[in-house]
């Protein structure tokens, strides 16, 4: 097992020099994903296990986020697609994709965001699937997805006449059109854009689930804990920069303590997600984002004028931290969930 053997210093050395270029879109995340795949980081440390252990993935994403949120977010997407594919029994359609994703040769894109508010909601999903010749034809628009490169493996929810499915298709399939990415505040090298689907054929064996709520519930701990790891990694980098760069150490005795508590809870939940209790995973992610924002702001204040320069790592981290609550489930989704569980 390689669990716990992620070497943050090695990953920082590898990914930190490219973080500015990835953020600005002067290069994209593919080389980094290929490198991680070649080094074996995207597969389970236990070669006999189909799924990598959550504590290992959390430590990987956290370490990468401290170096480059673009890379870490792209790895989050890759890990989530692997999670979706390994939640169900492998089929003739899904089995060959696993090795391609683990090796980093093919990118994984998740388009589940619209399903999160849509569960328990009768509003239609943006993608529909029409039964056709033993499979389905997908139509509609995916508003946002990332890792949209080459022939990425894309997982999307869709409405059928019989109910909601989760389906997988390749980005290079006929009928798929990827919009040119618009300039973003951060993470410009992540291949984030929208996708139009016009009669994209998926085989029956490419349907991962006919139970969308059950599917989302099953992948939720991994999704939320890896998203929390993104925030914790950004905070790690901010606090390290404050410690290393500040002429005057800022007075912030409580921030370090909050960070330590969030990081310890993250490790505990990664070992035993069931210990989180109702609303616990959502609350942890909200807390982690709040600490990351405070840390990025403090790093800016402590760094002075050089931190405020557009190309500085400090200003990049302020923009990276700004992305965290935008990721679905968004901050507002999480707050509503926490309020619901508190009143239940």
Ligand X SMILES: Cc1cc2nc3c(=O)[nH]c(=O)nc-3n(C[C@H](O)[C@H](O)[C@H](O)COP(=O)(O)OP(=O)(O)OC[C@H]3O[C@@H](n4cnc5c(N)ncnc54)[C@H](O)[C@@H]3O)c2cc1C
DSSP codes, 124-139? PPSEEEEEETTEEEEE
CB of 193 to ligand X, least distance (A): 9
CB of 216 to ligand X, least distance (A): 12
CB of 201 to ligand X, least distance (A): 22
117 token code pair? 């508010």
Direct distance between the N- and C-terminal alpha carbons of the chain, in angstroms, rounded to an integer: 40
Options 59, 68, 146, 222; binder of ligand X; rule CB under 6 A: 146
Does 127 interact with ligand X (rule: CB under 6 A)? no
Size of the site for ligand X (CB under 6 A): 20
Find the part of the chain contacting ligand X (CB under 6 A) among 111-119, 203-211, 224-232, 288-296. 111-119
CB of 248 to ligand X, least distance (A): 35
The stretches of the chain forming alpha helices (DSSP H) are 8-15, 19-24, 30-38, 54-67, 69-87, 95-102, 115-118, 212-245, 253-271, 280-303, 305-308, 313-323, 331-343
CA distance 231 to 181: 24
Does 141 interact with ligand X (rule: CB under 6 A)? no
CA distance 74 to 37: 13
Containing H/E element for 200?
strand 193-203
Q: Name the residue nearer to ligand X (CB basis): 264 or 326.
A: 326
Region 148-167 residues binding ligand X, contact defined as CB under 6 A: none
Q: Which residues pair with 207 in a beta bridge?
A: 167
Q: Name the residue nearer to ligand X (CB basis): 1 or 326.
A: 326
Q: Name the residue nearer to ligand X (CB basis): 28 or 265.
A: 28
Q: What is the DSSP letter of 92?
A: T
Does 78 interact with ligand X (rule: CB under 6 A)? no
Per-residue binding letters, 309-338, with ligand X (x by CB under 6 A): -----------------xxx-x-xx--x--
Q: Which residues pair with 157 in a beta bridge?
A: 166
CB of 199 to ligand X, least distance (A): 22
Residues within the interface to ligand X (CB under 6 A): 77, 110-113, 117, 143-146, 184, 187, 192, 326-328, 330, 332-333, 336
């Amino acid at each position: 097992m390689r669990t716990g053997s992620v070497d943050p210093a090695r990953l920082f050395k590898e990914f930190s020099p490219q973080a500015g270029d990835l953020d600005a879109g002067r290069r994209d995340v593919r080389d980094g994903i290929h490198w991680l795949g070649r080094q074996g980081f995207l597969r389970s440390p236990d070669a006999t296990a189909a799924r990598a252990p959550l504590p290992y993935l959390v430590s990987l994403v956290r370490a990468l986020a401290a170096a480059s949120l673009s890379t870490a977010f792209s790895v989050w997407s890759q890990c989530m697609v692997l999670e979706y594919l390994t939640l169900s029994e492998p089929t003739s359609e899904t089995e060959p994709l696993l090795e391609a994703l683990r090796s980093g040769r093919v990118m994984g894109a998740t388009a589940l965001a619209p399903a999160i508010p849509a569960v328990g909601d009768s509003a239609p999903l943006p993608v529909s699937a029409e039964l056709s010749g033993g499979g389905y034809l997908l139509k509609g628009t995916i508003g946002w997805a990332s890792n949209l490169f080459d022939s990425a493996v894309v997982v999307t929810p869709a409405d059928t006449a019989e109910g909601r499915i989760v389906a997988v298709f390749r980005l290079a399939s006929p009928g798929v059109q990827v919009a040119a990415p618009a300039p973003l505040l951060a993470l410009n090298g992540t291949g984030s854009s929208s996708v139009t689907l016009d009669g994209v054929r998926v085989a029956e064996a490419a349907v991962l689930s006919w139970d969308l709520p059950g599917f989302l519930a099953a992948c939720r701990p991994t999704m939320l804990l890896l998203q929390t790891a993104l925030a914790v990694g950004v905070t790690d980098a901010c606090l390290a920069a404050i410690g290393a760069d500040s002429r005057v150490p800022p007075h912030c005795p409580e921030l370090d303590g909050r960070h330590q508590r969030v990081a310890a809870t993250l490790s505990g939940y990664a070992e035993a997600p069931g210990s989180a209790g109702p609303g616990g995973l959502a609350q942890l992610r909200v807390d982690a984002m709040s600490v990351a924002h405070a840390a990025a702001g403090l790093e800016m204040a402590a760094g002075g004028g050089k931190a405020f320069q557009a190309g500085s790592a400090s200003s990049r981290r302020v923009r990276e931290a700004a992305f965290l609550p935008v990721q679905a489930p968004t901050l507002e989704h999480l707050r509503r969930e926490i309020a619901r569980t508190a009143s239940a």
